[in-house]
Structure formats: structure tokens, C-alpha cells
Structure 1
């Protein structure tokens, strides 16, 4: 059976302001792990790996919970795995996590990067926005998919500043945070379905689209999109 490796990178804000939605964020991340696990069962041809890191600021700004671990070996995380501390070194978290994952990814592997934050970058020491945007744009051309999920901000503007075209906004309250994770789960499942369709249509374009969070992609619609892509640019 032909197989396809998928590396799921989740970069999660662990700054102090996340306390308002902490329980929902913790539950939501575990729901994300469950979604990846279900996809592995539904599509055994997809070999799912997960890298999960939370970030704050300071000398120990990055908390590597999982590093390219097979999803079958990833348990639910607890509050001990996800402590909150300090400010928001978003650029440093992205640059470090993406660079580390680059060392593992081979040609033909698929990568889905998910960034979840309730605030703006304010504490990075090593990476800046220009460097992150350049890195993201380079990897998008190689087939990586990036999504940015932000609370109470102009997510399209912020995501655009770091080269990301798939963005989702939510409000930092319990109800909207739970709804956001539900939507992300649906979008993630649809992404995996599309990868499976692409495996059956090897001439389809692997370029990232800007409709990751769209809610109207039925399996039939995915097939039509892939047939169109295989014929060339629309």
C-alpha cells in the first residue's frame, strides 16, 4: 500500500494571558490529537506524526511536548504538560519549531503547521517578522500548509505579516474557543481527506490553497478540485 507521511506541527501560546481560556485550550489540543488519531485509523495510508510545543518568553520560552512522535504514541496532555508563563515570543517559537522539523522532513512528506495564540508577538530575541515571513513563504512553495488562529485581533493582517494565508479569528472566551477548536478539527479532517485524494491523482498541484477553513468542501467537491488541478491552473 502506498503511504504518505504527514507531519502535524502545533505551536500553542502559553503566555500568561491564556489563563482566561486555559481549560478550553487544553481540552481543544487534546481534541486535535484525537482528530489526528482518528485520521490515522480512517486513512491508514497516512502516517501521522505530531510535534506539539507551547511557548511563552525568556530563556526557557519553548516547551517541546512532542517532537515528530507517531500519533499512536501520543497521549492526551495534562496541565503539567502545559504551564503558562510570561509573554509571547511567537517569532522565536515559529522559527525554532519549523527549523527543527525541517531537519526531519523529506521530499514528498506533507506538513501542516498550526499556530494558536491569544496575543501579539512581543518578546522574541532571535527571529524577527521578516525572517519568519521569508521562511514560511519558502516552505509554502514546497507544499507545507500553514494556518494562523488568533484571538481578538486582525488575523488576516497579522497572518499576512508572517506569510500565512489561512487565518481564523476567535474571541478569548470559553464558548468561542471551544467553537474554534471544533472548526479547526473539521478543517483538519478535510485536509487529510484532500491529501488522500491527491494520492489518487498524483498530477494534482500540491501548492497550498487559501481555503483551509472553508466549510463547504464535500468529498465530491474535493474530487472535482483535484481533477481541475490535474489539468493545470484554473
Structure 2
């Protein structure tokens, strides 16, 4: 059985407050869907970040991860994005074994403004260095994805989405069914996307699709499933 470590870096800054219930609902749908995958033994590292970074779940078996609630998700403060990436990678790296793969989902509606320990260059080195290992994948759903890709030298790819994944997404994300009415042979999603502040389900659906496709495969990285050349910066 494959083994996957799922890192979720979730923005908890003040700007997320107006969509608090949507963030909670979207994350819980994502979590419930990933808990249904029986062909992969996964652990989750959930970190929230505002002015500080908080480790909420540290390598917990996916089936034991609790849902987000109004109590444990309370937005406020700034955006220590760089510190969150460094900390999330660090805690998973400490646990990772050679037979495990890692997918790191970064979700933010704003730009870095509060990190105290980590620089942009250090994040760039972290991402490129870990991607080069062959068993780490990064998904960025945030502001100015094209600039992020360039600044971080992050591999940008498209991943085709399978029919089983589309089938459950149609059930679990009914508000955005119109996004899924495409033929399976042509539908794919990018690992670098613009954060959608009006529809949080779109953000979580992207993460859901990419995690599901990696976990249902024997591949070590999302790039192994890619349909385009790495670092392609075409418009999605």
C-alpha cells in the first residue's frame, strides 16, 4: 500500500474572517473525501498561520484527523507564509521515510507580511530542493500564482483528472458542478492556481483533485502525472 504525507498550510490571517464558515466547510469536505481513499495510508500535517505558525495536527493518521470548527479556526493577524512553508516542510521531513511521498498544499488569500525566521530565498531553496528529491510535490493556491511560480522556481504542471475523482467531486461540491461538465480525456487541473475569495469550494476542490490523483497512483510526484512540460507558465 502506498504511503502519503499530506501537508496542509492554511491561512488564518484576518482577511479570512469574512469567509470563516466557508473555509471550515471546504476543509472538512476535503478531509472527508481524503479519508475515503482506502488504497493509500496517509498522514496529515495541518498547520495554520497568521502572524505566527501553529501546528494543529502533526503526522496524524488521516482517519484520526478531526474536522475544523469555529473553535479551532479563528482568523486574525498577519500572513507569515514563508515561516509556515518552512515549518510544514520541516516537521514532515523529520518523519518521512524512504517509501513515503509528500504533497504540500499551500492555501492563502494574501501575500507574505509577517515571517520572522524565513526569507523568500530560503523558501525558494526549500521548494526546489525538495522537488528535486523526486517524491515531494507542492500545490500553491494563492495570490498572483504566475509571479509565485517565477519567484519560487516552482514546477508548474497540469494533472489529468480521472473519472472516479470527477464522480465523487460532482456529489461533494454541488455548488460548482458546472466546472466538472467536461470530457474526462481533456479535463486537468494545475498545481498553481489563483485563490478564489468568492468561492472557497474551488480552492479545496483543486487540492482534493490533486491529492486524490497522486494517492490513487503509484507515482512519487505530481509531475509524474503531468501533461505539460515542467515550469510551463502558460495561462490556465
Do both proteins adopt the same fold according to a TM-score greater than 0.5, normalized to the shorter chain?
yes
**Number of equivalenced pairs:** 191
Structure 1 residue 163, shift from structure 2 partner: 3.6
4+ residue runs of structure 1 moved beyond 4 angstroms?
Answer: none
- Aligned partner of 2:127 in structure 1 is 136
- Aligned partner of 2:205 in structure 1 is 182
Q: Which whole-Å CA distance do the structure 2 matches of 1:136 and 1:9 have between them?
A: 13
CA contact 2:145–2:192 (8 Å) conserved in 1:
yes
- Residues 1:158 and 2:172 are matched in the alignment: no
Distance change >3 Å, CA 98–CA 38, structure 1 → 2: same
What is the TM-score with the length of structure 2 in the denominator?
0.75
What is the TM-score with the length of structure 1 in the denominator?
0.76
Computing the radius of gyration over CA atoms, which structure comes out larger, 1 or 2? Answer: 1
Q: Which whole-Å CA distance do the structure 2 matches of 1:95 and 1:23 have between them?
A: 27
- Residues 1:146 and 2:145 are matched in the alignment: no
Distance change >3 Å, CA 125–CA 38, structure 1 → 2: same
Q: Which whole-Å CA distance do the structure 1 matches of 2:116 and 2:222 have between them?
A: 29
- Aligned partner of 2:33 in structure 1 is 35
Match of 1:193 among 189, 192, 216: 216
The two structures, once aligned, show a CA RMSD in angstroms of 1.9
Q: Which whole-Å CA distance do the structure 2 matches of 1:52 and 1:187 have between them?
A: 17
1:99-142 deviation digits (Å, cap 9, x = unpaired): 12111001121101000000000111110010111111111111
Structure 1 residue 32, shift from structure 2 partner: 1.6
Alignment of 1:77-156 (within 5 A): 77-142=68-133, 143-150=135-142, 153-156=143-146
Q: Which whole-Å CA distance do the structure 2 matches of 1:180 and 1:94 have between them?
A: 18
Structure 1 residue 20, shift from structure 2 partner: 2.5
- Residues 1:209 and 2:223 are matched in the alignment: yes
